[in-house]
Chain A
């Protein structure tokens, strides 16, 4: 069984390169059983989405933020 240290590294690398089939399978088996790593995986994607919006804020309501 894969360790969390390895799983977290793959959950990060997944954002930068396609994983091999073998990696996908063992990662899938790990995350199926490990809620902490599952959460970590979600946070990796969230972190990417957040960072892409770096400095964008809509303090004081949002009328012209979209336009």
Chain B
């Protein structure tokens, strides 16, 4: 985290880092995710900075944007876990979001009948097995859009549980949430995300 004189080497593999458009977009995406998780701009920026720096230090590893992105997000993930564990007082979000509950009731009404069964045309459909374009930047764009459509508190807790892979009790402890509150939030986040991915990615066998 010291020298400004990074070993920039004019070999072809360093050109990834010279693609300023890609690098800026990547940095913004990381920053957005980090800020959502740690809820503190300075901590988020430091984490992103550190992750980027470690990528520069392993510059020779990356032939392609996809590999670099995977690498920096893995580093960022670990940084965020550390921050969430150490800096509870900055990061915890005990405020409930207004309105989220009401939207959920509306969603439940669309998905289920009065008797609590799936509406006919809302029944979950079979998702095509992975490989079929799942690990593509197009898929992640849709995924991000679906994630963004959730109330911030939902996407934050969902990603904390599923991407950062924190245990439920650790999340409850950090965030001062009851287990049932967390479980309900995760359920609603998954319910919406499932719906959004099915409608925008899995629906229809062929993509135009």
Seen from chain A, the residues whose Cβ lies within 8 Å of a Cβ on chain B are: 3-6, 8-9, 12-13, 15-17, 34-37, 39-40, 42-44, 46-60, 64-65
Contacts and interface: CB of A to CB of B under 8 A. Distances in A.
Interface of B: 29, 63-67, 69-70, 73, 108, 112, 115-118, 123-127, 130, 134-137, 139-140, 143, 158-159, 161-163, 165, 168, 179, 182-184, 186-187, 190-191, 193-194, 197-198
B168 A46 contact: no
Contact of B194 (A3, A47, A49): A47
Given A4-B116, A17-B183, A39-B126, A12 B191 contact: yes
B140 A57 contact: yes
A55 B69 contact: yes
Nearest to B182: A16
Contacts of A40: 124, 194
Contacts of B168: 16-17
A47 B66 contact: no
B187 A9 contact: yes
User: Chain A: interface secondary structure?
Assistant: helix
Nearest to A5: B116
Nearest to B171: A16
Nearest to A36: B123
B66 A36 contact: no
Nearest to B123: A36
Contact of A47 (B123, B165, B193): B193
Contacts of A60: 64, 66
| Residue of B126, B136, B186, B187 contacting most chain A CB atoms (<10 Å) | B187
A65 B73 CA distance: 14
A39 B125 CA distance: 7
Contacts of B112: 3-5
Contact of A48 (B124, B125, B162): B162
Contact of B116 (A3, A17, A64): A3
Given A3-B115, A9-B184, A53-B135, 11 more contacts: A9-B187, A34-B117, A34-B118, A50-B130, A50-B134, A51-B163, A55-B69, A56-B69, A57-B136, A57-B139, A65-B70
